Structure 1
Amino acid sequence: MDRAKIITICGSLKSMAEVQTIAERIELEGNCVLSITYPTKDKEDYTEEELEILGKLHKQKIIMSDAIYVVNINGYLGESTKSEISYARSIGKEVLSLVDDYQI
Structure 2
Amino acid sequence: MSLPLTPEEHLAVAKDQLCLPPIVAICGSTRFMTEMAEADLRETEDGRIVVKPGCDLKSPHALWADPAEAEELKVQLDALHRAKIRLADEVLVVGDYIGDSTRAEIAYARSLDKPVRFTHPEVDPGA
- What TM bracket, shorter-length normalisation? 0.7 to 0.9
Give the TM-score normalised by the residue count of structure 2: 0.72
- Partner SS, residue 101 of structure 1: helix
- Partner SS, residue 75 of structure 2: helix
User: Which residue of 28, 35, 52 maps to 1:18?
Assistant: 35
Q: How many residues align?
A: 101
CA distance in 1, matches of 2:121, 2:24: 17
Partner of 2:72: 49
- Structure 1 unaligned segments of length 5 or more: list them: none
Tell whether 2:45 aligns with 1:28.
Answer: yes
Specify which structure has the higher proportion of strand: 1
- Structure 2 unaligned segments of length 5 or more: list them: 1-18
- CA gap 1:30/1:14 in 2 versus in 1, 3 angstroms: same
Structure of larger gyration radius: 2
Partner of 1:6: 23
Deviation per residue, 1:42-79 (Å, 9 max, x gap): 6763343221111000000000000110002xx21111
**Which letter does structure 2 place at the counterpart of 1:95?**
V
Partner of 1:82: 103
Asked which structure has the greater RCO (Cα within 8 Å, sep 6+), the reply is 1
CA distance in 1, matches of 2:65, 2:99: 15
2:118/2:124 contact within 8 Å kept:
no
